[in-house]
Amino acid sequence: MADKLRAQQQLEQLQARYVGTGHADTTKFEWTSNIHRDSYASYIGHPPMLSYMAIGMGECREKVRSMMIEKMIQPVGRPPEAQD
C-alpha cells in the first residue's frame, strides 16, 4: 500500500513540475491542447522555424510570434461539456 501511495505522490509531483504529464483520466481535449501548446512553444523557440512560418504567411516574425502565443490560449477550441 505504501508503495502505491508513493507512486501516486511521485506522479503528482511530476504533474506539478512538468506541465502536460498525463494521468489515467486525461481527456482528448487535455491531451490535444497540450500537444498544440507544446508545438507552438517549440515554433516560437526555434528561430529558423519562426522565420520559415513568417515567410510563408507573408508577415513579420514578431507578429507571428505573438499570434502563436495567442493561439496557445485555446489551441483546439472550447473544452467539451463535462460528462458525469
Residue 6 as a binder of another protein (CB under 8 A): the answer is no
Residue 56 as a binder of another protein (CB under 8 A): the answer is yes
- The interface mask with another protein, positions 8-37, x = CB under 8 A, is ----------xxx------------x---x
Grid coordinates belonging to 5: 501511495
Contact 44, 23 (CB under 8 A): no
Residue count of the chain, please give it: 84
Q: How far is CA 35 from CA 8, 23, 55, in A?
A: 24, 15, 24
Name the site residues for another protein (rule: CB under 8 A): 18-20, 33, 37-38, 40-42, 44-49, 51-52, 54-63, 66, 69, 72-74, 78-82
